[in-house]
Every structure is written in C-alpha cells, then in structure tokens.
Amino acid sequence: MKYIRWFSELGVGDVPLVGGKNASLGEMYGALTSQGVRVPNGFAVTADAYRRVLDDADAWPRLHRALAGLDCRDVQDLARRAAQAREIVYGAPLPADLVAEISAAYARLQAEYGETASFAVRSSATAEDLPTASFAGQHETFLNIAGEAKVLDAVRRCFASLFKDRAISYRVDNGFDHFKVFQSVGVMKMVRSDRAASGVIFTLDTESGFRDVVFITAAYGLGENVVQGTVDPDEFYVFKPTLRQGHRCVLRRKLGGKELRMVYTTGAGRETTRNVPTPREDQARFCIGDDDALVLADAAVKIEDHYSARAGRPTPMDIEWAKDGVDGELYILQARPETVVSQRPVGQVDEYRLTAKGDTRTSGRAVGGMIAAGKAHVITDVGQLGQFRPGEVLVADTTMPDWGTVMKTAAAVVTNRGGRTCHAAIVARELGIPAVVGCGDATTKLRTGDDVTVSCAEGAVGRVYAGALPFTRTRVDLSALAHPRTHVMVNIGNPDVAFQAAMLPTDGVGLARMEFIVAEHIKAHPMALVHPEKIDDPSVRDAIAQLTQGYERPADFFVRQLAEGVGTIAAAFYPKPVIVRMSDFKTNEYASLLGGRWFEPHEDNPMIGFRGASRYTHPAYAEGFALECAAMRRVREAMGLTNLKLMIPFCRRVQEAERVLQAMATHGLARGANGLEIYVMCEIPNNVIQIDAFARLFDGFSIGSNDLTQLVLGVDRDSEIVAFDFDERDDGVKSMLRQAVEGARRNHRHAGICGQAPSDYPEMVEFLVETGIDSISVTPDTLLAVTRTVLSVEQRLGRAPSAA
C-alpha cells in the first residue's frame, strides 16, 4: 500500500512519515512485544496521505491566507482563524485510492480482533513526541470507533485537528512552521479501559527528577480524566534497581479520590464519552493491584532501556497505559521521551525558601518545587479567560489544553482537581512555574484580586498562603563543590522530600526519623491498631476502621505504611547507607496519636521516662515494636533495600541493649544477618562511660547531641525557665563528645553525630572534624554550608578532599 504502514513495519526513524506517536508504537510493537510488553496492533495513515489530500483540494493557499499575520495573544482571533483552517482541512475529500487502502487495512485489523471489536483513531503529527517538544494533548483522538464510514470520518477529523487553537499556539511558542508539520493518523485496537482502569507512567519522579523510580498514576475508566486532571488518581512508585534484582515489591502507594469514571455513551447517533460518579467503595480501594503496578513497571523499564540504547544516552519516558476490562490485559498505548524534568541542568540545585509565615488558604499536591506570589484570579467559566492578566495566579477547577495561551502568562496555577501527571501539572513544569493541584476547595477558598503566595517548596504538599510572602531563591552549582573526607549526611523524617534531598551531595542519611511517618502518615498508635477492642470510644474505633479500610488487619496498615515511608527514604539514597532510628516517641507524644490515650501512662517528665529502648521489650509496647520490626524487615527483604541500617535510641544500660537485640533477632532482624548493621544512639552519659561494653553489641554510634547535652548539663530543654542554659558548646558536653569519638575509634566502630548542634553552630562542625568523627549528619537546608565548613577545616588540617 502507498499510504498505509502497519505498526510492524515502523520504527523510531519513521517520524517524518508517520509522526512521533505512530513511530513509537511501531518501534515498541516490533522490538518489545517479544519481551512481554503488550502493544495493540494497528496501522498508520501516513503524512504523505495528509499532503495528498490537501494537494488535491488545493487547500494550501487557503490555509496560508487563514493564518497570515496571526497573533496568538488575540484569543478570539486565534479561535476564528483556527476554526477556518479546520474547515478547510475537514472539507477536503479523501481520494478514492486512499479510501480503498484505509478500508482494506481496517478490514484486516477487524479480522484480527473480531467483528465486535472497536478501534481508536489517533493523531500523530510529524513534530510530535520529540525530545524537546511533546505536543501532548494538542491534537484529537477518537475512541471506540466501529465501522468503515466512522473510521474514514475520524481520519479526516484527525487531519483537521492539526489546526486546533491549542496546537497552533503551541507551534508558535516552540518555533514550528505550521506548513512544515504534517499529520499522520493511527488506527489501532481499542483497549476497553472504560471497563477497567488507565493512566500515565513516568520513568522518573516528576517533581525532583530522581531517575531510579517508575511513577505510575491510575484511575478508573478512560485515561482522559488522568491526563486532564479531572480526577485525583492513585499513585504507585516502583524502585528500578531492586526491581532489576528480582524484588517484586511496590515501593510506595497513595490512594487517590478517583471521583469520576469516564465511560462511553451513545448520543446524537454517535459514540461519545461521559463521566459518571465512582461508587464510594471503589474510591476507597486502589483501581489496580500491586501485581498490575509491577507489570507496568516492568514494561516501563524495558521501554526506557530500549529507547536509551537507541539514543545512546539515558532517556526517561512518558508512557500511557490502559487495562482492558474485557480480556484483563495491560496495554501500552503510547511512549515518548519525557521533555521537561529530564532537561534540567545536571549538578545545579535551585533552593526556594519562605522567609515569613502566613495563613494557609488551601493545600494540595505540590508541582514544581518553587514559590511564586501574585494576585489570585479565579476562573469558573472558559469565557473568563480573556480577563486574565499576566503575573496573576490562575485558580480553576481544572485546566484544559485550550488554556495554554493564558497559562504561559500565569505566575502559578492552583486547581481543585488533578494529580501530579494531569494537564495543569505537566504544563506548569514545562513553563517553569509552581502548581498546587487537587486542592478540592481552591475556587471557594481563594478570591479574585487577593494577594497569595503559592509554595511548592515544602515537600509533597503544596500550600497557598494569604498575602504576598517574601521568599528567597538560591542557585547552587554542585559540580564546583569538593567532597570532604568526613562524611556529611542528612537528617530526614519526611519521605515526601527524600528524592529532592537525595539530589544534594550527601554520603547518605545519618538519621531517618520514624516518628514523622507514624505521626503524619499512619496517625494511629501502634498498640491501638493491634488491640482496637481495648478502645471504649466508638468514634475512635470508627476512625481507626476508616483509616485502615482495605487491610485484613489494622496492624497490617501500620506495617505497610511504615515500610513504604522508610523504604522511600532508603531508595532515594540507595546504595548509600540510610540509618533509621526505631521509634522514639515520648509517652505524651504517643498519647496524642489516634487511640493513644488508652495505652500510655501519664508521666511528669516523659523526656527521661518510658521512651526508646525501654519500650521495646516491655509488655505495654512489645507488640508495637514487633510491628516496627516487621516493617523494617519488609524494607530490607521484600523491597531489597539492604542499605538500611537500624538504630536503637535512648538505650540506658548494656543489659537493656542485650534484651532489645534478642527481641529484634526473634522478629527476623538479627545483627549481621543479610549484612544488617545495628547502631545505637550515644545520647546518655552511660553510653559514653560504658562505650567499650556497648561497642561489643553494636556496629556504630550516632551521637544525639540534644539529649546528651540536657543530661550532661541537667537541663530540660522543653522547660522555658531553664532552656537558656541548654548549650551544646559547653566544655563538659564537648568533653563527652570527644570521649565518644575516641571510644568508638578505639573499638573500631563508626562514630557519627545526628544531633542539631552541627546544623546550628559552625564552630561545632570545626570541633567535630578536629576530633576525627567519621560522619556529621545535618538538616538538608544546612548541608551545603556544613560541607563547605568541613572542607575548610580539613584543608587547614592538611586532609585532601575525597575522590568520591
């Protein structure tokens, strides 16, 4: 055939003939189906056919006249001219020989899939899915098409969609000549995701650019809802390095609202789509299981590997997928190079930081890692777009591809609906502006004309603050920073910021706090999840039941959530060491958790009470500690993250240490097994006094300067009356620090510090380097400054920078 190419005949080199989408489908169909990547079969109507149609209709001069002198900033004129151009193209008849070829190819495809099969007819422009311009969502796709006449009509509509308003504007913005971009059309088996689920995959983290994960979004029904941000989708992360090693385990999951499901409906004599409410019981569960997520991750890794090999460089991918509700199979519908996050300069970090506080008006999912301020402009109807002014913050229920002209002038975008792969998020990243999506109430909580600050620099949660708050932006060139011999590590508790923090030049995590994950993600007391029957308040029991729905036992919820939080941190820094501290809540803090007051005693001074190691083998908490151990075992064994080391806090006596280690071994965490190292916090004077004895039981020490200082000086740092006497720089405290480092070295054990002192005081960094400490762990925001201080001291001491 002259104007038809089957997917099996196409590859990535055929973009000029069939466009980016069809070339990629052909490449995957030919190269990856044998590896288990399932791609629907189909054929492409070539760009030559498009040119032939317009040649025969003498349409080119009329198109030139329609677009001559166009100014895309005039939205009304753009709409008028674009409509005229589409009429010219759609009105051009298909030549008889082209009709014959399409009809013959359609008959062959129908024979392959059966008389009842339907098909997708998709645009594929010759400038689409390029490394520097994706054209995502700019052209038309027609779904669930059946019958020769409808296929032919859909081909003509795809040709005409090359002149959609948004596509014209996108070409202008990206420097493409309207008359050097041609339209191809793909016809392929329709995957009935209206009866199952669909979504988008990125082979990197879309916010930080972290490249070792596959990020999957998923929602019920057709994928348009995920792409356009109509729904808040489920999210899955899978860690590539351990997936390649054979570990079949999802790293992290987040349940989305999935409020709507897009399905097919018949209206005005033709097939259309509509959104229907998702039943509450379906919203409350993940739309695909872990097994499906792992199949998709496998396919994504194979696709990325293949395209990277073709390009001769790492090529992160943006992939569309769908699950067929009829045959139950998972299909890849499209794959293109990711064109925004992967293009960021390597070795440069932009740090945004608010320098004042404000009232939070609304919050959602953060996109972009930046901060911007401006006047809010709430758009509730597309007709209001003409009133939007450059520099304003666009606030809407959701955004559409037609809004591109307005969005590129916005300071930031805020939406009620959508996830981190929706249209608003993708465009915001491309434009380099922050977006907060999926707020739920943005259009009611924000008013047009109000000054607001949009912050996406505080982790996964984006916030919109009242007022124009001051903030700083600092660009750091990491390539110019030498690597000190003393290991500089980070303290971290929030998994949401782990991928971003891992971009900093660190030697790993010196302290991963379990408490943040328990308080912010789990929210319930572990013993309340083990024994909910002991809670005599029905409202609290109901809250626990709501929190843990979908799990066979409430305790399973704790294990899964804790494992995913800690696992995310361990994956972010893999294969560098990540030292996670087992729980160190105090009784008053534990009591504040959901269900906690039924399991915690009252203490007058919880700072030196029932905390840390003393809890782990005590009957009042031993079952809770077993859950912590089960979660850590899942991270190391099921997830394969053996870079995880464990650390015991507030361990008062050697005998207590022995009991805790025995309990851990009983729970499958024996020191030395599968390379497991167990550290102890050095934060009680007895840890220093008996450091030789503790060294026989543990692989390393991490000095907790906060607790060590208050116990050396006898100062309760929570007491406002005496807090002025709390000072880590006191000579007595420094003497204890020196003894701890020397004692660890004497016993050939690692000595680090994870307390606040080096983050706050450069002179403490100097002192610690001079003592010969192995590692200093600090907060991410001080890491670069501390690294420079360490390098300066090492240079003064004659220590050359590390080659690492």
Mean pLDDT by runs of 10 across the 804 residues of the chain is 96 93 95 96 97 96 93 88 96 97 97 91 79 64 91 96 90 87 95 96 93 97 87 96 97 95 74 88 96 98 96 94 96 90 77 90 90 96 89 92 80 91 80 90 96 90 95 84 94 90 93 92 96 96 94 96 98 98 94 95 92 97 98 98 98 98 98 97 97 98 94 83 85 97 98 90 95 94 89 92 70
Q: Can you spell out the DSSP letters for 191-207? A: P-GGGSEEEEEESS-TT
Q: Take residue 515 and report the two structure tokens written for it.
A: 């408490």
* Among candidate residues 159, 137, 147, the one with its CA nearest the CA of residue 49: 159
Spatial separation of the C-alpha atoms in residues 446 and 361, rounded to whole Å: 7
Return the pLDDT at 748. 98
At 468 the pLDDT is 95
∠ Cα 641 647 652 (to 5°): 165
Q: From CA 377, how far away is CA 395, in angstroms rounded?
A: 6
- Residue found under tokens 């027609």: 142
The answer to whether 794 touches 765, Cβ cutoff 8 Å, is no
For residue 613, which of 667, 649, 565 has the smallest C-alpha distance? 649
The Cα–Cα gap between 421 and 233 comes to 9
Contact 486/467 with Cβ under 8 angstroms? no
Beta-carbon contacts of residue 568 (< 8 Å; ≥ 6 apart): 237, 251, 252, 495, 498, 499
List the catalytic residue out of 139, 306, 423, 487. Answer: 423
Instruction: Give the pLDDT of residue 725.
Output: 85
Here the tokens at position 186 are 């793909």
Cβ atoms of 187 and 106 closer than 8 Å: yes
Can you tell me the distance from the alpha carbon of 61 to that of 559, in angstroms, rounded to the nearest whole number? 67
Gap between the Cα atoms of 25 and 12, Å rounded: 9
Terminal Cα-to-Cα distance of the chain (whole angstroms): 58
Taking Cα atoms as reference points, which of 656, 644, 628, 457 lies closest to residue 530?
Answer: 628
DSSP H stretches of helix in 384-432: 404-407, 423-431
Distance, CA of 605 to CA of 531 (rounded, Å) = 27
Q: How many CB atoms lie within 10 A of CB 797?
A: 12
- The pLDDT assigned to 720 comes to 72
**In contact, 665 and 717? CB cutoff 8 Å:** no
DSSP 8-state code for residue 714: T
The CA-atom distances, in angstroms, between 627 and each of 526, 596, 634 are 8, 16, 11
Please indicate, yes or no, whether the overall pTM of this predicted structure exceeds 0.75: yes
Residue 60 identity (one-letter amino acid): W
Distance CA 486, CA 474 (A): 25
d(CA 173, CA 135): 11
Sign of CA dihedral 183, 189, 194, 198: negative
Question: Considering only CA atoms, which of 211, 168, 137 is closest in space to residue 66?
Answer: 168
Cα–Cα–Cα angle for 491, 493, 494, rounded to 5 degrees: 125
Distance between CA 230 and CA 537 in Å, rounded? Answer: 38
CA distance 429 to 391: 16
414 and 372 Cβ atoms separated by less than 8 Å: no
Q: What pLDDT does residue 131 have?
A: 53
Give the residue carrying structure tokens 């014959």: 100
Per the annotation, the verdict on 423 as an active-site residue is yes
525 catalytic? Reply is no
10 Å CB burial of residue 384 (0-12, 13-18, 19+) is middle
The strand pair at 678-682 and 700-703 is best described as parallel
Residues 455, 84: Cα–Cα separation, whole Å = 42
Helices marked H in 134-215: 148-160, 165-174
List Cα–Cα distances, 651 to 590, 681, 691, in angstroms. Answer: 18, 7, 12
Following CA atoms 283, 289, 294, 299 in sequence, which dihedral angle do they give, to the nearest 10 degrees?
-70
Q: For residue 672, give the amino acid letter.
A: G
The pLDDT value given to residue 402 = 66
Q: What pLDDT shows up at residue 651?
A: 98
Q: Which two tokens stand for residue 673?
A: 């097994």
Q: What b/e sequence results for 220-243 when a residue is b if at least 16 CB atoms lie within 10 Å of its CB, and e otherwise?
A: bbbbbbbbbbbbbbbbbbbbbebb
HSE on the CB side for 442, CA within 13 Å? 32
**Residue 356 burial (10 A CB sphere; 0-12, 13-18, 19+):** exposed
pLDDT of residue 268: 53
* Pairing of β 644-648 and β 578-581: parallel
